[in-house]
Amino acid sequence: MAGQEQQHQRRRVVVLFSLPFQGHLNPMLKLASLLHTRGLGVTVLHTDFNAPDPARHPAGLAFVPIHETLPGEATSPDSNILTKLLALNAACDAPFRHALASLLRARHRDDDDVACAVVDGQCFAAMRAAGELGVPVLALRTDSAAAFRKMLAIPRLRDAGYIPIKGNKKEKLDEPMPEFEPLRVRDLIRVEGSDTDEICSFVASVADAVRATVSGIVLNTFEAVEASELSKLQSELSLPAFAVGPLHLLSSSSSQAPAEAEQSVHEPDRGCLPWLDDGHPPRSVIYVSLGSLACVDRVVFDEMAWGLARSGVPFLWVVRPGSITGVGEDDGEAPPPLPEGFEEETRGRGRVVKWAPQREVLAHASIGAFWTHCGWNSTLESVCEGVPMLVQPCFGDQMVTARYVTHEWGVGMEVGEVIERGRVAEAVAKMMVGEDGALMKERARHLKMEASAATGSAMDGLVRHILSL
Ligand code: UDP
């Protein structure tokens, strides 16, 4: 009997679940492909909202919807990120639990055996549910190790009087945070419309779920950029941390992933690629995008526009529907109107799209810099293409990443504390044609080489860990 069991190898299956944000789905699905390539069974549980298209992923991946019911605030451009996260956690809790339990029952009858669940590191409800169902849990963080460390410290920083940040005094804001070098007080936290207690309670829910249920943290980062942060994180959490990034780079070299495996919540406007081909010298165009969630107010948006116009630099600008606070919520598909006269002023020199094929854009020879909100995926994508950055962080982990881009890796500079057209034009020109920009381009080229050298060894370690569970 024992011999028979030995002969009959059960397939180990990993169940993955991501919150339905672009910046979370991308790395989770890349991780799914990589685990599949390494011989593990993979089932992706997903929300109906922003559901992945199985046709864009390797044939062996199974996709199972959890059929959640989302309240309006989970997806409204009016909601801030914390409201969205709390609403998604509440809405996914029971459907995720139900879907995972069904899967466990079905697997019990099959030859498959669920080895573990890899759950979105912001979805404390799913981590807890998986733990309660007796499934080993790994948390996938889609931010950097530095940002995650800082997040976990938020309740402590509040108790120490750092948060909420009081007053607007520059000296106070610029005070260094020795424990979190190179961060300053001003990089600690910014979520408009949320109070510190709400934020601390969310952080406590994540931290409790991690401590109670998780057997390891998976991060889309790599040693060359975050070695010391990773080792601090491991010792603070007493958990193994697997730095398996840059996931988009490692998964694109995996043979089973289709060439166009990008999971996009909006249809990219591919017309910008021939436009980039067309007569733009190498490194002459600035690419501008604030990601899939960040909004700015109308005044800031107009200053960005007129700053770009004034800079004289060719640009490709992603203006997403809903990217100006309070504009366009009624018609989710229409991007906000550009300032009057802007298109005439920049005709032939700029292109505005609703959504870009960002990785291909960043890989294009004409792109000289990326004006970014410093979402972690965007930052990694820029690093991997050797494109220096102009940073305009908006909320959450973006301030931490922006600080690393500018002060730790030296591959970027701030657009400006205040977004004003004169300063914007100056920053764009400095980056594109100035000496500082040239230095940053050189450093970005080096960082790209380090990223390209990232191997799959952390992924091998992760697979070994999964098989040991
Ligand atoms: N993205 C894209 N086209 C766009 C803007 C963004 O494909 O026009 C992708 C980008 O490549 C990245 C993701 O959307 O993978 C955004 O994730 P990130 O973590 O940078 O920011 P978030 O949207 O979560 O704030």
Asked if residue 359 and residue 277 are part of one domain, the reply reads yes
- Using most ligand atoms within 8 A of CB, pick from 19, 21, 22, 383 the residue to mutate for ligand 1: 22
Domain span holding position 327: 272-452
pLDDT band at 262 (very low <50, low <70, confident <90, very high): low
How far is residue 323's CA from residue 161's CA, in Å, rounded to a whole number? 33
- What contacts 22, CB < 8 A, 6 or more positions away? 50, 263, 264, 265, 291, 292, 293, 377
How far is residue 469's CA from residue 455's CA, in Å, rounded to a whole number? 24
Q: Does residue 179 sit within a domain?
A: yes
Q: Does pTM top 0.90 for this prediction?
A: yes
Ligand 1 centroid to residue 358 C-alpha, Å: 7
Catalytic residue check, 120: yes
- What contacts 429, CB < 8 A, 6 or more positions away? 311, 312, 313
pLDDT tens string 339-353: 999 999 999 999 999
Calculate what percentage of the chain has a pLDDT beyond 90: 76
Q: Is the CB of 392 under 6 A from ligand 1?
A: no
pLDDT tens string 397-408: 999 999 999 999
What's the rounded mean pLDDT across residues 97-124? 91
pLDDT value, residue 281: 95
How far is residue 336's CA from residue 328's CA, in Å, rounded to a whole number? 6
ipTM of the predicted structure? 1.00
Q: Provide the token pair at 191.
A: 């979520």
End-to-end CA distance of the chain: 24
**Given a cut of 60, is residue 259 above it in pLDDT?**
no
φ, ψ of residue 8 in degrees (nearest 5): -90, 90
Place of tokens 């040239």: 438
**20 preceded by a cis bond (ω within 30 of 0):** no
- Quickly list H helices, 38-163: 81-109, 124-132, 145-152, 154-159
Ligand 1 centroid to residue 66 C-alpha, Å: 24
**Given a cut of 70, is residue 332 above it in pLDDT?**
no
pLDDT tens string 6-58: 445 678 999 999 999 999 999 999 999 999 999 999 999 999 999 999 998 99
Q: Does residue 262 sit within a domain?
A: no
Q: Does residue 261 sit within a domain?
A: no
Q: Does residue 254 sit within a domain?
A: no
Q: Which helix (H) or strand (E) holds 51?
A: none
Asked if residue 239 and residue 99 are part of one domain, the reply reads yes
pLDDT band at 328 (very low <50, low <70, confident <90, very high): low
pLDDT value, residue 4: 47
Asked if residue 213 and residue 302 are part of one domain, the reply reads no
Q: Which helix (H) or strand (E) holds 307?
A: helix 298-311
The total number of structural domains in the chain stands at 2
Average pLDDT value over all residues in the chain: 91
pLDDT band at 254 (very low <50, low <70, confident <90, very high): low
Asked if residue 131 and residue 239 are part of one domain, the reply reads yes
Give the residue among 420, 418, 373, 427 at the shortest CA–CA distance from 400. 373
Q: Does residue 265 sit within a domain?
A: no
Q: Does residue 35 sit within a domain?
A: yes
How far is residue 131's CA from residue 327's CA, in Å, rounded to a whole number? 41
What's the rounded mean pLDDT across residues 368-393? 98
Asked if residue 159 and residue 300 are part of one domain, the reply reads no
pLDDT tens string 413-454: 999 888 999 999 999 999 999 899 999 999 999 999 999 988
Atom of ligand 1 nearest to the CA of 248: 15
What's the rounded mean pLDDT across residues 113-140? 97
Asked if residue 413 and residue 278 are part of one domain, the reply reads yes
pLDDT value, residue 256: 46
Q: Which of 57, 120, 143, 397 is catalytic?
A: 120
Strand partners for 41? 13
Among 113-127, 154-168, 282-296, 437-451, the range scoring the smallest mean pLDDT is 154-168
**Given a cut of 50, is residue 467 above it in pLDDT?**
yes
DSSP string covering 208-239, please? HHHHHHEEEEEES--HHHHHHHHHHHHHHHTS
Q: Is the CB of 251 under 6 A from ligand 1?
A: no
Asked if residue 218 and residue 318 are part of one domain, the reply reads no
For ligand 1, atom 11, name the residue with the nearest CA. Answer: 358
pLDDT value, residue 8: 57
Q: Are 85 and 202 in contact (CB under 8 A)?
A: yes
Q: Does residue 163 sit within a domain?
A: yes
Q: Is the CB of 358 under 6 A from ligand 1?
A: yes
The phi-psi region of residue 176 (left if phi > 0; otherwise alpha if psi is between -120 and 50; otherwise beta) is beta
Asked if residue 350 and residue 461 are part of one domain, the reply reads no
Q: Is the CB of 377 under 6 A from ligand 1?
A: yes
Give the residue among 146, 224, 220 at the shortest CA–CA distance from 450. 224
Q: Is the CB of 381 under 6 A from ligand 1?
A: yes
pLDDT band at 372 (very low <50, low <70, confident <90, very high): very high
Q: Does residue 267 sit within a domain?
A: no
For ligand 1, atom 17, name the residue with the nearest CA. Answer: 23
- Using most ligand atoms within 8 A of CB, pick from 80, 320, 377 the residue to mutate for ligand 1: 377
Ligand 1 centroid to residue 265 C-alpha, Å: 10
Asked if residue 328 and residue 355 are part of one domain, the reply reads yes
Q: Which residues in 291-320 are b (16+ Cβ under 10 Å) and which e? A: bbbbbbeeebbbbbbbbbbbbebbbbbbbb
Q: Provide the token pair at 360.
A: 């291909």
**Given a cut of 90, is residue 266 above it in pLDDT?**
no
Ligand 1 centroid to residue 178 C-alpha, Å: 31
> Is 18 in a helix, a strand, or coil?
coil
pLDDT tens string 190-224: 777 678 889 999 999 999 999 999 999 999 999 99
Ligand 1 centroid to residue 378 C-alpha, Å: 6
Dihedral (CA of 437, 442, 445, 447) sign: negative
What's the rounded mean pLDDT across residues 71-100? 94
Q: Is the CB of 335 under 6 A from ligand 1?
A: no
In this structure, the dihedral spanned by the alpha carbons of residues 307, 309, 311 and 315, taken in order and rounded to 10 degrees, is 100
Domain with residue 14: its CATH number is 3.40.50.2000
pLDDT value, residue 106: 86
Asked if residue 43 and residue 30 are part of one domain, the reply reads yes
Q: Are 137 and 216 in contact (CB under 8 A)?
A: no
What's the rounded mean pLDDT across residues 221-248? 96
Asked if residue 237 and residue 286 are part of one domain, the reply reads no
Asked if residue 464 and residue 440 are part of one domain, the reply reads no
**Given a cut of 80, is residue 232 above it in pLDDT?**
yes
Among 7-21, 26-40, 63-77, 290-304, the range scoring the smallest mean pLDDT is 7-21
> Is 117 in a helix, a strand, or coil?
strand
